[in-house]
Structure 1
Amino acid sequence: MRILTLLIILLFCTGSYSQNDLGIFKFNRDIGDPDHKGSVSYDSNGQVYTLNGSGYNIWFERDEFNYLYNEVEGDFIITANFEFLGKGVDPHRKTGLMIRESEAEDASHASAVLHGDGLTTMQWRRSEGDEMQVENNEIRSPKNHYEILQLERRGREIIMRAAHWGEPLQVIGSKEIESLDGKVLVGLFINSHDPATIEKAKAWNVRLDKPVSEKYNPGEEGWLGCRLETISIEDGKRKVIYSKNDRFEAPNWMPDGNELLFNMEGSLYTIPVNGGEISKLDTGFADNLNNDHGISFNGELLAISHSPENEGSAVYVLPLEGGTPQRVTEKTPSYWHGWASNNEEVVYVATREGNPTYDIYKKSIHGGEEIMLTDTKKGEHVDGCEYSPDGKYIYYNGSSSGTMQIWRMKPDGSEKEQITFDANNDWFPHISPDGNWIAYISFPPEIPVNDHPSYKRVTLNIIPASGGAPKVIAYLYGGQGTINVPSWAPDSKHFAFVSNSGEKAE
């Protein structure tokens, strides 16, 4: 009996302190000794946090609430979606993101706050014990009911952003807070605003990212953390299925819908869509692959871009199940980007002797001459060429308008037509298998127009293939390698991508 009791105690303690219980976070505490103890539960399948907490308020000179957090140094970005559960008792119940100096009830903090009545605010206490007042310690958003909240620390500056689902993040406010420039606590909170009540909220798409410096050079400093994610385009719910404190890139969704294919360390690997063991795909002698690879429309062939010794990248094809690649492009460099819907041709970007700019070419996988489809002027760039499933168009990104935008043309290179018109720089259009949607990655205007670096603040957008306003489906830290290749699931309802996590993959 004594041995059985000890085993039960051991199992209980092990479960109570398992890291998976708190997702990416390490600590969960009640701050300020509220009357009712708070708690957190984590659904690892949906990667959703349920927050339970009480407390009189987070205001005046002291706070009471439940806090889920990590200790973090340096610059960072934390982003999450929030929703209250139930009607609630007090309209000023609060949930959101918090940066806090310590666990002390009167510690300084900066918070992105969603109130029960939809009010969305940035609130702060500059130093320990300061009394918070509306006129001195709060910025109210002109709009309410924001679902997505974000806090960024950039040196001593704290920046709050917020968004409704499908829209770009908007800056709500920013403050320099000297007491929050060292090691701080960063995470999610909930407060009931009624000491006798426990309120509930859920949070999802929780990401804690560590930005790199503007001078960061991955070739010299080494590659940092990456996450392989899937997303539902209907509601934007994301799931991390694989992470590594190193570089990997560019997922394809396998035709059976059950696995993803991605490149890492010069090779290709598969992984189940819900996570699990990775398996190396046999690509024969081709062991120096870049992030340009993809599957034919009939699901039988795989195109890869491999750089043989002493040569630039060339396009090859092989059976999807693996095998010996057959070379398609004799000239280098050539970077694959799309299959023709007839499964007999590929399109790729390349530079050729006497023309240093990249252009789009197509060629039969059975041989013959390559056909040049664009004639890019000096200072311009094209990339990301991909056929629509019906074979009527080739979509691509090009900078002839002055910014990088999404374009399309007929398969013979005629009737070039601009699709997106915005101040951002848009890259890598991917057409859903049902032909209804175009997904692409959007870089902010400050990124050089013809560049697409990694470790940048970007969004994933979709637009109807028939035209219309773009919808933001994901806010992330990423760029090069995020969606260089076709990433749609066969059901046209899900998408795969790689995000950069910065210092360490969480």
Structure 2
Amino acid sequence: MTKISLFLICLLATAGAFGQHPVGIFDDHLDIGNPKMPGDATYDTASQVYMIKGGGANIWFNRDEFHFVYKKIKGDFILTADFEFTGDTAGAVGHRKIGWMIRQSTDEGAASANACKHIDGLVVLQWRPYRGMFMRDPEEERFYPKKGGQTIQLQRIGNVITMKIAHPGEPLQLVGSCMVDDLQKDVLAGLFICAHDSDKVAGARVWNVRIDKPVIHPYTSNPHVPPVVVHDVFASRVETIDIADGHRKVLGGFPGPVAPPPGDKPEYSPDKKYDYYSANVNGTTQIWRMRPDGSAKEQLTFDEYHNWFPHVSPDGKWLAFISYPMDIDPNAHPLYEEVMLRLMPLTTPGAARVIAYLYGGESTLHVHCWSPDSKQISLISNSEPAR
């Protein structure tokens, strides 16, 4: 073989290695299974919104056809985003689908787990346990009785994959879990779209896209198992959220966790008539308020969550706070946990609603987290460390 031939082979190999098409936080996007109608993906930096489109006959049996927007991830992670179909949906096949996918490779028959939202409202977790295996109905599926949903979450802890979904304002609901042994330590994870019709192209808008790396065992009493050092696990994002529609934007980040301010002091309302605080009186931590002299104590939240860090909007109309899951020590408020940012009206009747699902906690809401016009909240969320 001549030197020129060797040079050309090396040049082609190098071109292939750099032939990816990164979009937003993802490494690449491409069609899987060679669908008849090609797909695409774009990212708007200003709005931090992904627009994806794709063809494909199906994601099922022993091979798939769809468009995939993905990055390579190692270990445990939590994928969360908001999804909606776009474009001309008239006459669309009911099983047109969008969502999150974890996949071993770009092979059309790769082992995978898919959190699917269909255009007819069907919600399902489906998976292919091994490469080339025919997916079975209903053995490789977990159906959710409620239709539709906007926020989809797919979590991997070890080889256990869990899907959750929520309509705007409500807590995430469990769809189901599965075990996919053929998904190795390094996987491809990302957004997918499938028209479920070889002759059509489906479109979707995806926003509030977050990939989080959880701390599974931050503490252990076993002297032979070293504790996890949080600073070695986390990076942190600085974000803003619009309270009207829940749209979040990342403003920047830090290489480690952001330390919370010392103490958990009550917060005064703008008119100085009340102090807002968290207290565990009956086994769960709830939000309370009282007069500055300690009189007229009033409980404001009454649910199964542990609610911490109340912050009143400058116009006095809203109360923002962090809700921890039920299995947390009610007297603890760690900074490395799956939490909800919730909003409660103070001047009109109404229940608290979820405006963000995030990985954070103690450091998420700091003093003066509200914008002066009471329309946005700044927050800190934990994220995957930079490579």
Whole-angstrom distance in 2 between the partners of 1:76 and 1:129: 25
1:219 is displaced (CA, Å) by 6.1
1:472 is displaced (CA, Å) by 0.6
1:86 is displaced (CA, Å) by 2.3
Report the equivalent of 2:194. 191
Unaligned runs of 5+ in 1: 1-12, 250-290, 293-334, 336-348, 350-382
Q: How many percent identity over aligned positions? A: 48
Contact 1:79 1:149 in 2 (8 A): yes
Counterpart among 214, 218, 228 of residue 215 in structure 1: 218
Is 1:93 aligned to residue 93 of structure 2? no
Report the equivalent of 2:135. 132
For residues 62-116 of structure 1, the C-alpha deviation after alignment (integer angstroms, 9 at most, x for no partner) is 1001100011111110011000002423222111000011111011111000111
1:38 is displaced (CA, Å) by 1.1
Whole-angstrom distance in 1 between the partners of 2:233 and 2:215: 11
Contact 1:384 1:429 in 2 (8 A): no
1:413 is displaced (CA, Å) by 1.1
User: How many residue pairs are counted as aligned between the two chains?
Assistant: 361
Report the equivalent of 2:106. 103
Is 1:230 aligned to residue 111 of structure 2? no
| TM-score normalised over the length of structure 1 | 0.68
Whole-angstrom distance in 1 between the partners of 2:20 and 2:45: 12
Whole-angstrom distance in 1 between the partners of 2:185 and 2:74: 6
Contact 1:97 1:151 in 2 (8 A): yes
1:18 is displaced (CA, Å) by 9.4
Moved more, 484-493 or 413-422: 484-493
1:218 is displaced (CA, Å) by 7.0
For residues 449-473 of structure 1, the C-alpha deviation after alignment (integer angstroms, 9 at most, x for no partner) is 1111111111100111145321011
Report the equivalent of 2:223. none
Report the equivalent of 1:240. 250
Q: 4+ residue runs of structure 1 moved beyond 4 angstroms?
A: 16-19, 216-223
Whole-angstrom distance in 2 between the partners of 1:420 and 1:245: 35
Unaligned runs of 5+ in 2: 1-14, 220-226
Contact 1:459 1:473 in 2 (8 A): yes
Is 1:392 aligned to residue 273 of structure 2? yes
| TM-score normalised over the length of structure 2 | 0.89
Contact 1:227 1:505 in 2 (8 A): no
Structure 2 matches for 1:281-360, cutoff 5 A? 291-292=260-261, 335=262
Task: Give the 3-state SS of the residue equivalent to 1:134 in structure 2.
Answer: coil
Moved more, 136-145 or 202-211: 136-145
| Larger RCO of the pair (alpha carbons < 8 Å, separation 6+) | 2
Is 1:484 aligned to residue 366 of structure 2? yes
Contact 2:240 2:378 in 1 (8 A): yes
Report the equivalent of 2:331. 450
Structure 2 matches for 1:392-471, cutoff 5 A? 392-466=273-347, 468-471=350-353
Could you say if the C-alpha distance between residues 218 and 180 of structure 1 is closer, same or farther in structure 2, counting changes exceeding 3 Å? closer
Aligned-partner residue type, residue 83 of structure 1: E
Contact 1:226 1:505 in 2 (8 A): no
1:484 is displaced (CA, Å) by 3.4
1:504 is displaced (CA, Å) by 0.9
1:169 is displaced (CA, Å) by 0.4
Report the equivalent of 1:38. 39
Could you say if the C-alpha distance between residues 451 and 484 of structure 1 is closer, same or farther in structure 2, counting changes exceeding 3 Å? farther
Report the equivalent of 1:61. 62
Aligned-partner residue type, residue 297 of structure 2: K
Aligned-partner residue type, residue 389 of structure 1: P
Contact 2:77 2:157 in 1 (8 A): yes
Contact 1:428 1:485 in 2 (8 A): no
Is 1:70 aligned to residue 71 of structure 2? yes
Task: Give the 3-state SS of the residue equivalent to 2:95 in structure 1.
Answer: coil
